[in-house]
Amino acid sequence: MKISIAIDGPAAAGKSTVAKRIANILGYTYIDTGAMYRAFTWYCMEKGVNCEDEKACCALIPEVTIKLRPSGIVLCNDVDITRAIREPRINANVSYIASYKDIRLFLVEQQRNMASKHSVIMDGRDIGTYVLPNADVKIFQIASVETRAQRRYDENMEKGIPCTQEEIQADVRKRDYIDSHRDFAPLRCAEDAITLDTSDMSIEEVVNAIIDIINKKLEEKGKNA
């Protein structure tokens, strides 16, 4: 029996960190849908296409193949872009790419296909509302802008990605605005999602809280984690 867990929420709320750990613990496949929008953004920039030009970006759809490896490696047309997609230039442009309906439909089809083959824990913005509306468990993970910016800053420092706190906070605010105001599948909490404010929680506390929620929900449904 395939299980699907949706984790949505604003930028840098720590979704991918906890989703990865939960996937390891429960033996599910982790799918980072944000990485797919980032990969598409990387390709547009590589081709010298302006990310604010919807028509030109969507015209690249037939050329793009994105692969997410279980190890976390992200490939675009077989180029390893795992590190490149976390650069500030990608952060600054990815919300434009993610607002284009044709690109979303192209990537959502692949996301649904992965969820039909494996038990998944998928993180993003529209997983509970649009990609997997029948997900077994839906979590909406939030945290204050200050906490999120600090977490992303710490993460970047650890990975050696140069940035300033001001830059990160401005980027997080801008992306939240664009992601929640786009016409098609905007960032929104699903009606049947459980909201978890993680501002004052450690990663372990968040992981444990979500695993508890998953176990309870699956028990109610007569499924096993």
Least Cβ distance, residue 221 to ligand DC (angstroms): 24
Nearer to ligand DC, 60 or 223 (CB): 60
Which CB, 119 or 124, lies closer to ligand DC?
124
Residues at the site binding ligand DC, with contacts judged by CB under 6 A? 11, 33-34, 37-38, 94-95, 98, 124-127, 175, 179
Residue 100 CB neighbours (<10 A): 21
Instruction: Name the token pair of 183.
Output: 């016409």
Q: Is the Cα torsion angle 128, 139, 172, 154 positive or negative in sign?
A: negative
Residue labelled with tokens 């720590």:
14
Q: Which is nearer to ligand DC, 28 or 37 (CB)?
A: 37
Nearer to ligand DC, 4 or 33 (CB): 33
Cα–Cα dist 39/167, whole Å: 21
- Minimum CB distance to ligand DC smaller for 86 or for 223: 86
Least distance from ligand DC to the Cβ atom of residue 182, Å: 8
Q: Least CB distance from residue 219 to ligand DC, whole Å?
A: 28
In whole angstroms, the minimum distance from the beta carbon of 62 to ligand DC comes to 21
Cβ 8 to ligand DC, closest distance in Å? 7
Choose between 126 and 136: whose C-beta lies nearer to ligand DC. Answer: 126
Rounded to a whole number of angstroms, the minimum distance from the CB of residue 220 to ligand DC is 26
